[in-house]
A and B are shown apart, each in its own frame.
Chain A
Amino acid sequence: MALPRRTLLQLIAGAAAGVSTPVAHTLAANNDAATIGWPNDVASWDPNQRFTPDAQPIFKAVFDQPLDQDPQLKLVPHLIRSWGLAPDALSMAVELRDDVTFHNGDKMTTADFRYTFFERVKSGAKLDIANSMRKVQDIVVESPTKAIMKFDSPAPTMPQWMTFLGSYVVPKNYIERNGFDNFLQKPIGTGPYKLAEYELNSRIVLERYDNYWGPKPKIGRVTIQIIKDPSARVAAIQSGQVDCTINVPVREVQRFAQDNAFAAEITPITRVILLNVRADLAFADKNVRLAAHHAIDKMALSKAFYGGAAVPLSVLATPGTPGYIPDFTFKYDPALAKQLLAQSGFGPDKPVKIGLAATNGQFPSDYDIARAIVGMWKPLGIDAELQVIEYAKYFELNRGGKLPEATLYSWDNATGDPEIFSGYQLNPKMPFSPWKDEDIGNRVLALFTVADYNKRIAGYQDLERYAVENGATMPLLQSVVTVVRKRNLGYQKYGNGWLLPQTLQWT
Chain B
Amino acid sequence: MIVTVATLIARRLLAAIPILLIVSALLFCVLRALPVDPAAMSLPPNATIAEIEAKRSEMGLDRPLPEQYAIWLRGALHGDFGQSIQFRRDAGSLVASTLPVTIQLALAAMVIAAVLGFGGGLLLFSLRDTLFEPVVDVISIVLLSIPEFLWALILLFVFGVVLRVLPFTGEVAPGLPLPRVTGFLLIDSLLVGRIDIFASACLHLILPAVALGLAFSPTIMRVLRSSLFDVYHEDYIAQARLRGLTERQILIGHAFKNAVLPTLTLAGVQFGILFSGTLLVEVICSYPGMGNLMVDAVRNADLPLIQAIGLTYCIVVLLINTTVDSLYVVLNPKLRIR
- A130 and B196 contact, CB distance less than 8 A: no
Residue in B97, B160, B194 whose beta carbon sits within 8 Å of that of A235 in the complex: B160
Complex A-B, nearest 8 residue pairs according to Cβ-Cβ distance, in ascending order = A18-B199, A202-B288, A18-B196, A21-B173, A22-B167, A14-B195, A18-B200, A223-B174
- In the complex the two chains form, is A235's CB within 8 Å of B157's CB? yes
Question: Given A232-B284, A235-B168 in contact, is the A18-B88 Cβ separation under 8 Å?
Answer: no
CA distance A23 to B168 in the complex (A): 11
Which residues of chain A have C-beta atoms less than 8 A from B196's C-beta?
14-15, 17-18, 21
Task: Give chain A nearest CB distance to B148 CB in angstroms.
Answer: 14
- Does B283 interact with chain A (Cβ within 8 Å)? yes
B145 touches A (CB below 8 Å): no
Known: A202-B170, A390-B299. A14 touches B41 (CB 8 A): no
Query: Would you call A240 an interface residue if the criterion is a C-beta within 8 Å of the partner chain's C-beta atoms?
Result: yes
Q: Is the CB of B174 within 8 A of A35?
A: yes
Residues on A with beta carbons closer than 8 Å to the beta carbon of B164:
23, 26, 239-240
In angstroms, how far is the closest chain A Cβ from the Cβ of B51? 9
Contact, CB under 8 Å: B153 / A231: yes
Compute how far the CA of A37 lies from the CA of B43 in the bound complex, rounded to whole angstroms.
30
Contacts of A22 in B (CB 8 A): 167, 173, 200, 203-204
Q: Is B89 an interface residue (CB 8 A)?
A: yes
What number of A residues sit within 8 Å (CB to CB) of B?
Answer: 63
- Is B283 within 8 A of A200, CB to CB? no
CB atoms of B198 and A393 under 8 A apart: no
A225/B169 contact (C-beta < 8 A), A43-B86, A44-B87, A49-B88 known = yes
Given A44-B89, A396-B37: A231 touches B199 (CB 8 Å cut-off): no
Least distance between A415 CB and chain B CB atoms (Å): 17
With A43-B86, A126-B44 given, is the CB distance from A199 to B171 under 8 Å?
yes
Q: Which residues from chain A sit less than 8 Å from chain B, CB to CB?
A: 11, 14-19, 21-23, 25-26, 30, 33, 35, 37, 41, 43-44, 46, 49-51, 126-128, 130-131, 134, 184, 197, 199-203, 205, 223, 225-229, 231-232, 235-236, 238-242, 390, 392-393, 395-397, 399, 402, 430-432
B169 near A15 with CB under 8 A, answer: no
Taking a contact as CB atoms closer than 8 A, the residue among B88, B156, B198, B200 that contacts A43 in the complex is: B88
Nearest residue (CB) in A for B200 is A18
Provide the bound-state CA to CA distance between A431 and B48, in Å: 9
Q: Apart from A15-B196, A200-B288, A396-B37, what are 20 other A-B pairs with CB-CB below 8 Å? A: A17-B196, A18-B196, A21-B200, A30-B175, A41-B296, A46-B88, A199-B178, A202-B178, A203-B170, A225-B170, A232-B156, A232-B283, A232-B284, A232-B286, A238-B161, A392-B36, A392-B299, A392-B300, A396-B35, A399-B52
User: Please, how many angstroms separate the alpha-carbon atoms of A19 and B288 in the complex?
Assistant: 20
17 contacts between A and B (CB under 8 A): A11-B195, A14-B194, A15-B198, A17-B196, A18-B176, A21-B175, A22-B203, A22-B204, A26-B164, A33-B175, A44-B87, A131-B46, A184-B89, A199-B171, A228-B292, A229-B284, A399-B49
Q: Which residues of B contact A430 (CB under 8 A)?
A: 46
**What 1/0 mask marks residues of chain B from 248 to 289 whose CB sits below 8 Å from any chain A CB?**
000000000000000000000000000000000001111110
A14 to B194 alpha-carbon distance, docked (Å): 8
In angstroms, Cα B279 to Cα A32, docked, is 35
Distance of A457 Cα from B176 Cα, bound (Å): 51
B197 at the interface (CB under 8 A from A): yes
Give the residue name and chain of the B residue nearest to A184 (CB): B89
C-alpha gap A51/B47 in the complex (Å)? 14
Q: CB-defined interface of B101-122 with A at 8 Å, one 1/0 digit per residue?
A: 0000000000000000000000
Q: Dominant SS at the B interface?
A: loop
CB nearest to B301 among chain A residues = A392
Q: Write the nearest CB–CB distance from A327 to chain B, whole angstroms.
A: 34
Q: How far is the CB of A72 from chain B (nearest CB, A)?
A: 29
Q: Are B300 and A229 closer than 8 Å at their CB atoms?
A: no
Interface residues on B, range: 35 or more
Q: How far is the CA of A211 from the CA of B332 in the complex (A)?
A: 68
Most buried by A among B37, B165, B173: B173
User: Are B292 and A236 in touch, CB under 8 angstroms?
Assistant: no
Given A15-B196, A228-B286, A228-B295, check contact A43 B173 (CB 8 Å). no
Flag if A239 contacts B173 (CB, 8 Å): no
A326 to chain B, nearest CB (A): 31
B124 contacts the other chain (CB 8 A): no
Cβ of A162 to closest chain B Cβ, rounded Å = 18
- B98 CB contacts on chain A under 8 angstroms: 200-201
Interface status of B226 (Cβ within 8 A of chain A) = no
B221: interface (CB < 8 Å): no
Contact A203 B296 (CB under 8 A): no
Interface residue? B244 (CB, 8 A): no
Q: What is the CA–CA distance of A235 and B159 in the complex, to the nearest angstrom?
A: 11
Bound CA span A35–B156, Å: 19
Given contacts A15-B195, A22-B203, A227-B286, contact A236 B169 (CB under 8 A): yes
Whose C-beta in chain A lies nearest to the C-beta of B177? A197
Q: Please, how many angstroms separate the alpha-carbon atoms of A35 and B173 in the complex? A: 10
Q: Which residues of B contact A16 (CB under 8 A)?
A: 199
Q: Are A393 and B177 in contact (CB under 8 A)?
A: no
Q: Are A241 and B168 interface neighbours, CB within 8 A?
A: yes
A33 CA to B167 CA in the complex, in Å?
18
Q: Please, which residue of chain B has its CB at the minimum distance from the CB of A397?
A: B35
How many Å lie between the Cα of A425 and that of B2 in the bound state? 69
Are A18 and B36 in contact, with the CB atoms below 8 A? no
* CB-contact partner of A201 in B36, B153, B178, B292, under 8 A: B292
Chain A proximity of B181: nearest CB distance (Å): 14
Does chain A have a CB within 8 A of B333?
no
Contact partners of B40 in chain A: CB under 8 A: 395-396, 399
* Nearest opposing residue in chain A for B189, CB measure: A18
B94 within 8 A of A: yes
A390 and B157 alpha carbons, distance in the complex (Å)? 30
Contact assessment for B174 and A33 in the assembled complex, using a CB-CB cutoff below 8 Å:
yes
Q: Which residues of B contact A134 (CB under 8 A)?
A: 46
Return chain A residues, CB-CB under 8 Å to B88. 43-44, 46, 49-50
Whether, in the assembled complex, B293 has its beta carbon less than 8 Å from a beta carbon of chain A, the answer is yes
| A229 adjacent to B286 (CB under 8 Å) | yes
How far does the alpha carbon of A390 sit from the alpha carbon of B297 in the complex, in Å?
12
Q: Which residues of B contact A241 (CB under 8 A)?
A: 160, 167-169
Whether the Cβ atoms of B160 and A14 lie closer than 8 Å is no
- Asked if B174 contacts A15 (CB within 8 A), the reply is no
A431 B46 Cβ-Cβ under 8 A: yes
Whether, in the assembled complex, B42 has its beta carbon less than 8 Å from a beta carbon of chain A, the answer is yes
B residues less than 8 Å from A19 (CB atoms): 199-200, 203
